[in-house]
């Protein structure tokens, strides 16, 4: 006798616990997919082709289902939305079409998921969506345990791959460092945390990164710190990026932030601060 959990865990827990054994089939991703992000600069009114490479690295067969969905926005606790409230960019979900939507791969097999992107004539600025790959054990491989009273739950892994389509000639890449502020770290650690607030004033997303150079009062470089690449910052949004500056001798210092927002497009800002004898910033 086979038993399935279909609608709800509630139904399962109403059954006599002593007569049932719960088995959860939850394996790691069986397939490898490349690339894991698509970023295009395309012309309006044109049709483009592309593909994903899928490889089954597991020891069992799987079915892969390809589709498109809405872009999943991820904001950090340091993200500030525009004054008018959260905004989203237009979708390109309907632009991307797969030639084939189901792939059955045996162990070690590979396939290319080919697609077309049809850009409308009136498209401009930037559009976003996600490509979804759902992975399920092949129906040829799936067998439920025949033991009476066995209950199985299968978890379906999903790849969600972001897609960014920039329309050539309509983009505006612009940003500014609104503020640089310093905060003392925990006393026993010493040093300070330097926060840079970057605002996207353009019409497409940016991923700023760069360096923070610390100078002493004689103008000598004492620290060269990395500003790690942030999550995408969307038009009108601000992101506060933190950089840890180690403890240094008491004195007056200046910090110059150089941030790259696109190739050959940088912004800069300078601030000054003082380390006191206890290692705190003023």
The CATH number of whichever domain residue 117 belongs to comes to 2.60.40.10
Domain count for the chain, please give it. Answer: 2
Is the pLDDT confidence value at 71 over 60? yes
Higher pLDDT, 190 or 48: 48
Is the pLDDT confidence value at 140 over 80? no
Cβ contacts of residue 15 below 8 Å, gap of 6+?
none
Is the pLDDT confidence value at 135 over 50? yes
How buried is 96 (Cβ within 10 angstroms: 0-12 exposed, 13-18 middle, 19+ buried)? buried
Taken in order 170, 41, 263, 126, the sign of the CA dihedral is positive
Going by pLDDT thresholds of 50, 70 and 90, the confidence category of residue 154 is low
Same domain, 213 and 230: yes
Same domain, 43 and 132: yes
Whole-number Å distance between alpha carbons of 162 and 157: 16
Which uninterrupted H or E stretch holds 176? strand 175-184
Cβ distance 4 to 12 under 8 Å? Answer: no
Q: Which residues, listed in sequence order, are joined to residue 177 by a DSSP beta bridge?
A: 198
Q: What is the mean pLDDT of residues 192-196?
A: 88
Residue 281 lies in a domain: no
Q: Which residue has the tokens 């082709």?
A: 49
Same domain, 155 and 131: yes
Same domain, 96 and 163: yes
Residue where a domain terminates, one of 148, 167, 186 = 167
- DSSP label at 77? T
Residue where a domain terminates, one of 139, 167, 195 = 167
């Amino acid at each position: 006798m086979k038993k399935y959990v279909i609608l709800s865990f509630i139904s399962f827990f109403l059954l006599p616990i002593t007569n049932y054994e719960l088995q959860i089939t939850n394996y790691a991703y069986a397939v490898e997919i490349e690339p894991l992000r698509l970023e295009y600069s395309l012309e309006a009114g044109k049709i483009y082709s592309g593909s994903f490479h899928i490889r089954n690295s597991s020891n069992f067969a799987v079915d892969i289902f390809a589709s498109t969905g809405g872009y999943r926005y991820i904001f950090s606790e340091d993200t500030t939305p525009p004054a008018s409230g959260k905004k989203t960019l237009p979708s390109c979900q309907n632009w991307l079409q797969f030639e084939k939507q189901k792939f059955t791969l045996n162990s070690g097999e590979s396939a290319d998921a080919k697609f077309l992107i049809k850009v409308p004539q009136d498209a401009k600025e930037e559009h976003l969506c996600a490509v979804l790959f759902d992975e399920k054990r092949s129906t040829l491989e799936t067998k439920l345990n025949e033991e009476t009273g066995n209950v199985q739950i299968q978890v379906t892994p999903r790849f969600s791959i972001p897609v960014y389509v920039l329309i050539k000639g309509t983009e505006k890449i612009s940003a500014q460092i609104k503020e640089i502020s310093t905060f003392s770290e925990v006393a026993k650690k010493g040093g300070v945390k330097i926060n840079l607030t970057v605002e996207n004033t353009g019409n497409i997303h940016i991923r700023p990164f760069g360096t923070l150079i610390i100078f002493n009062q004689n103008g000598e470089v004492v620290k060269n710190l990395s500003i790690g690449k942030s999550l995408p910052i969307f038009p009108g949004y601000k992101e506060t990026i933190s950089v840890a500056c180690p403890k240094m001798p008491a004195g007056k210092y200046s910090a110059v932030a150089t941030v790259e927002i696109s190739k050959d497009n940088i912004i800069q800002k300078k601030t000054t601060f003082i380390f006191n004898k206890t290692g705190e910033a003023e």
